[in-house]
Structure 1
Amino acid sequence: MSSWKRDIASGLVVLLPLGILLFVLNYLYERVIALPLISSLDFIGLGVPESLVPLARIIVALVLIITLILAVGYLMRTTAGRLFESALDGAINRMPGLRVVYNATKLAVETALSGTDDLQEPVRLETWPGVRMTAFKTGKKTQDGRVVLFLPTAPNITTGYVIEVEADRIEETNEKVEEALTRVLSAGFAESAHQIPVEEENPARTSATTVTTDTAGDGATTDTEVK
């Protein structure tokens, strides 16, 4: 890859995620301050300076949202809350189009909030002769002593396979969970050498050229190899 293409790619890697993040934050800001309950409040009449009205709207909206989340979270710990969640899941799962979006979103949120604490250690597993795949120990074992692993798909780690393998088939990687997840989430394209311990497939090659010279001027020649 030429240098200008590499520079463009590196610039996009930095600026594109930042631009998307700013776009999402701006969209959320506009939606939050436009909520009926927030937009109808007379902050100026309450003594809030006009320059601080947008900030006051955000603070009030965040307080209401956090209060709602805590209230629903507390409700989910009760029997009534679990029954409500079960009834809601059942109702939405009967809707062909919405159930896909609902279940995917719910699974993504559960995976994001649970973090990587449940993934004990990344390992490599030879699934086919000569083919290795990244998996994670779950800290569980079967009754016959097999190790239970989670084998995620790339780049979507919310799906995958729960497999049971013999301990001697597992290869330790000495990687951190975050390093292995970065490789899976990037579909193998992550280029940070200190995070992803892989080597380039096509290293730079050097060519050797033999040059014949007459150094003494007497017709005798000397072969010199130039790299």
Structure 2
Amino acid sequence: MAKDKKKSVSSDEAFDESPAETLTRLTSLDSKPALHLGSRLRNYFLTGLIIVGPVGITLYAIWWFINLIDAWVKPWVPQVYLPETYLPFTVPGVGLIFSIAMLIVVGALTANLFGRTIVSYGEIIVGRMPVVRGVYRALKQIFETVLSQSNNTFQQVGLLEYPRRGLYAIVFVSTPARGEIDDKVLKGEPVLSVFLPTTPNPTSGYLLFVAEKDVTFLDMTVEEGAKLVISAGLVVPPYQAKLKRLAREAKPKPRGKTPRTRQKTSA
């Protein structure tokens, strides 16, 4: 039992480990003679999976995104500007480069009076289309809100009793409620707009307006909260390790002996 306790690693220590520390811990077990060949191979496999897995998935996501943009943009690019016209192989990322350049050009054109006038006339034309105008206005408002207030969105993570008392769900606090919602919902109490994500896809979820007193704010960051949702609770932020470290840092340093105060004695 004592040997098993020594080999076990707490969940908080495991989450604090970097990939290099995990690699060192797993490979260090190879020096123990008690491990058989199968155990060593299993440790090597897990070590390789820890190192290669995140890197491989990240590279695949980048490659998929570049190919997706290329498939959309390259058909609109003249053949004279494509490297494949002069090279015997395909160069990935050309569509992405042209997309970034086009966005910069459009932004520069709309920064002056002439460009803003063209955009205004275009919005007037779109505003006269019954179905398109609703979609366009909603998307424009979402993009303006997200891009102009990117530093103020989802700054905190909280817990909310949902869907009934006794059950708690992770929510991302967006902003205090404003406008008509703030005026008509829970008058006299601060109201928050929170986003309740779904697992394992946090991009979908529910928008809820709740009283601020009903939200239990957490110390974890938004990134840590997203990891908790995506992993279905398997990846838990090392809260205990942080708590102990903060407690040690906040502990007052011992000072010199203070002179004792003399007690007054009654005559």
Task: Calculate the TM-score normalised by the size of structure 2.
Answer: 0.45
CA distance in 2, matches of 1:187, 1:111: 28
1:135 Cα deviation from its structure 2 partner: 2.0
Unaligned runs of 5+ in 2: 1-38, 241-267
State the match for 1:181 in structure 2. Answer: 226
1:145 Cα deviation from its structure 2 partner: 1.3
> Is 1:149 matched with 2:185?
no
The question of whether the paired residues in 2 share the 8 Å contact of 1:147 and 1:164 is answered with yes
The question of whether the paired residues in 2 share the 8 Å contact of 1:150 and 1:163 is answered with yes
Q: Which has the higher helix share?
A: 2
Aligned residue type for 2:221: K
1:162-201 equivalent positions in 2, closer than 5 A: 162-165=208-211, 167=213, 169-184=214-229, 186=230, 188=232, 191=235, 193-194=237-238
The question of whether the paired residues in 1 share the 8 Å contact of 2:174 and 2:195 is answered with no
Aligned residue type for 2:235: E
Identity of aligned residues (%): 15
Q: CA RMSD in A?
A: 5.0
1:26 Cα deviation from its structure 2 partner: 4.1
The question of whether the paired residues in 1 share the 8 Å contact of 2:173 and 2:195 is answered with no
State the match for 1:161 in structure 2. Answer: 207
Unaligned runs of 5+ in 1: 44-48, 199-227
1:106 Cα deviation from its structure 2 partner: 7.3
CA distance in 1, matches of 2:124, 2:196: 27
Once the two structures are overlaid, the 10-residue window that deviates more, 77-86 or 20-29, is 77-86
The question of whether the paired residues in 2 share the 8 Å contact of 1:135 and 1:152 is answered with yes
Q: Which has the higher strand share?
A: 1
CA distance in 1, matches of 2:81, 2:151: 41
| Partner SS for 1:135 | strand
Task: Calculate the TM-score normalised by the size of structure 1.
Answer: 0.51
| Partner SS for 1:40 | helix
The question of whether the paired residues in 1 share the 8 Å contact of 2:193 and 2:210 is answered with yes
CA distance in 2, matches of 1:171, 1:85: 43
Q: Figure out how many residues of one structure are paired with residues of the other and give that number.
A: 177
State the match for 2:157 in structure 1. Answer: 122
RCO (CA 8 Å, sep 6+): is it higher in 1 or 2?
2
* Distance change in 2, residues 1:156/1:72 (3 Å): farther
1:112 Cα deviation from its structure 2 partner: 6.5
Aligned residue type for 1:137: V
The question of whether the paired residues in 2 share the 8 Å contact of 1:123 and 1:172 is answered with yes
